[in-house]
């Protein structure tokens, strides 16, 4: 029996035949390959009957016992098929640990990231070895090209590092008492921002449970994105109520626009509409608000929210660009999505009049005719700037200039 080569040795000391002993055996045989011989080194000389019985029950072959110096070697050959799909990694230390700076981009969970997640990939990610019998989850988004965005690990780290607190990071007591006309405009704008941020919070939430966790970085990033949006809802709500004004009115055009975003069930199309078209335009709006907001505390609110939104747009642009590079025909699908949304929005004409008037009052500094006219002209300039920047983003994801112009023109008058 000594001539039989074994690949694994289990040292059990003086543990008698018991649950403890058989637990060690069970796990050793689970990770062993079919045909491998496992050696049990024990101080017990009289456990042969129990080991033989355990091996028979598990479908393995008991090979015998050999006396060693003050110990005994029992050998069992695994005859059953492998339980796991492979061997777990070992001795693969993550970069950055030594400097206490391990980042997501330094994760090397597998040699390559597959273009399609393994079918038996459950609620686990790359590098975790699955056991036979794992439930089949059938995640709808199991292809890399459907979800991936190359800088996502960097964006996730940035999102964590730039977290801020809507309670303590805003000098709430420094918000001045504004002229009621101006304060009402600010409250109407905050109402609009809250509506749109709910859209940006709920839409990623629709998709997270559909994304295969094999592509772990994506649901993690989207979770950080949702945390951003929750904080924006909180901070805009607090600003609307800071001076006693409170929420104002929600227009049909805004709600129809957000509904047209929410009902999109294709992730790439949704990412295109939300991150590239909507949040990209939203960043321009926030830039406008930061410029004309009359007090520094509210400017800071807008500035911090804009910084978060720029990160979301960066994810969307790279995600959609990557998806188009993998399948150029998607450009037409995205164009059709934009036009389909326009058809839905055409059922209600015009723009959100309350929002536009509030923007004009804010930019003009009041509602007297001269200020209002100046503010209205600035809003018109903003809309043209939004259009030009949308065209740039559309070209960036892979559209030619003519198509980018065409698609940008049909974007919702709600901005988002």
Other Cβ atoms within 10 Å of 303 Cβ, number: 15
Tell me the residue length of the chain: 416
Q: Give per-residue pLDDT as tens, 361-400.
A: 999 999 999 999 999 999 999 999 999 999 999 999 999 9
Sign of torsion over alpha carbons 148, 149, 151, 154: negative
Residue 409: its pLDDT value, please?
A: 95
Are the C-beta atoms of 76 and 38 separated by less than 8 Å? yes
As for how many domains the chain has, the answer is: 2
Q: Are residues 151 and 66 in the same domain?
A: no
Q: Give per-residue pLDDT as tens, 301-336.
A: 999 999 999 999 999 999 999 999 999 999 999 999
Q: What percent of the chain has pLDDT over 90?
A: 89
Q: Are residues 207 and 343 in the same domain?
A: yes
We report the CATH number of the domain holding residue 42 as: 3.30.110.40
Q: How far apart are CA 261 and CA 291, in angstroms?
A: 28
Q: How far apart are CA 270 and CA 389, in angstroms?
A: 19
In 3-state terms, what secondary structure has residue 315? helix
Q: Are residues 57 and 186 in the same domain?
A: no
Residue 35 DSSP class? T
Other Cβ atoms within 10 Å of 121 Cβ, number: 22
Q: How far apart are CA 336 and CA 60, in angstroms?
A: 61
Which structural domain, as residue segments, surrounds residue 42?
7-78
Widest pairwise Cα distance in the chain: 104
Q: How far apart are CA 251 and CA 294, in angstroms?
A: 25
Is residue 358 in some structural domain?
A: yes
Residue 363 DSSP class? H
> Is the predicted pLDDT of residue 86 greater than 90, yes or no?
no
Q: How far apart are CA 323 and CA 317, in angstroms?
A: 10
Residue 189: its pLDDT value, please?
A: 98
Q: Are residues 74 and 158 in the same domain?
A: no
Q: Which of 78, 112, 127 delimits the end of a domain?
A: 78
> Is the predicted pLDDT of residue 3 greater than 70, yes or no?
no
Q: How far apart are CA 270 and CA 273, in angstroms?
A: 5
Q: Give per-residue pLDDT as tens, 171-198.
A: 999 999 999 999 999 999 999 999 999 9
We report the CATH number of the domain holding residue 312 as: 1.10.620.20
Q: Are residues 301 and 172 in the same domain?
A: yes
Q: Which of 55, 78, 101 delimits the end of a domain?
A: 78
Are the C-beta atoms of 249 and 179 separated by less than 8 Å? no
Q: Which of 61, 78, 95 delimits the end of a domain?
A: 78
Other Cβ atoms within 10 Å of 116 Cβ, number: 13
> What's the average model confidence in pLDDT over 67-95?
92
Is residue 85 in some structural domain?
A: no
Q: Are residues 165 and 44 in the same domain?
A: no
């Amino acid at each position: 029996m000594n001539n039989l080569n074994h690949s694994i040795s289990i040292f059990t000391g003086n543990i008698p035949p018991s649950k403890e002993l058989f637990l060690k055996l069970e796990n050793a045989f689970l990770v062993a390959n079919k045909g491998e011989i496992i050696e049990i080194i024990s101080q017990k000389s009289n456990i042969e009957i129990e080991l033989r019985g355990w091996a028979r029950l598990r479908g393995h072959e008991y090979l015998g016992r050999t006396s060693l110096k003050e110990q005994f070697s029992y050998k069992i050959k695994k005859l059953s098929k492998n339980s796991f799909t492979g061997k777990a990694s070992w001795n693969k230390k993550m970069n950055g640990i030594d400097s206490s700076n391990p980042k997501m981009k330094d994760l090397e969970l597998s040699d390559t990231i597959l273009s399609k997640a393994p079918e038996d990939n459950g609620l686990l990610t790359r590098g975790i070895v699955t056991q036979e019998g794992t439930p089949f989850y059938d995640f709808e988004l199991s292809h890399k090209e459907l979800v991936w965005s190359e800088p996502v690990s960097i964006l996730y780290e940035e999102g964590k590092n730039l977290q801020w607190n809507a309670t303590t990071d805003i000098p709430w007591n420094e918000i001045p008492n504004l002229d009621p006309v101006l304060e009402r405009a600010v409250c109407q704008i905050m109402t609009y921002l809250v509506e749109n941020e709910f859209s940006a919070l709920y839409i990623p939430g629709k998709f997270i449970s559909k994304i295969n966790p094999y592509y772990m970085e994506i649901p993690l990033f989207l979770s950080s994105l949702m945390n951003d949006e929750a904080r924006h809802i909180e901070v805009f709500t607090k600003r609307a109520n800071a001076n006693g004004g409170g929420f104002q009115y929600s227009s049909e055009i805004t709600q129809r626009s957000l509904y047209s975003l929410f009902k999109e069930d294709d992730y790439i199309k949704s990412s295109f509409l939300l991150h590239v078209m909507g949040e990209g335009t939203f960043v321009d709006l926030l830039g406008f608000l930061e410029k004309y907001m009359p007090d520094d505390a509210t400017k800071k609110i807008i500035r911090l929210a804009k910084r978060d939104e720029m990160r979301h747009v960066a994810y969307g642009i790279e995600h959609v660009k990557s998806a188009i590079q993998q399948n150029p025909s998607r450009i037409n699908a995205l164009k059709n999505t934009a036009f389909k949304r326009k058809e839905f929005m055409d059922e209600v004409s015009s723009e959100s009049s309350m929002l536009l008037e509030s923007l004009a009052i804010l930019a003009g500094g009041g509602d007297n005719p001269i200020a209002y006219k100046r503010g209205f002209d600035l809003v018109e300039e903003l809309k043209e700037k939004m259009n030009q920047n949308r065209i740039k983003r559309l070209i960036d994801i892979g559209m030619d200039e003519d198509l980018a112009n065409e698609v940008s023109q049909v974007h919702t008058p709600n901005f988002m």
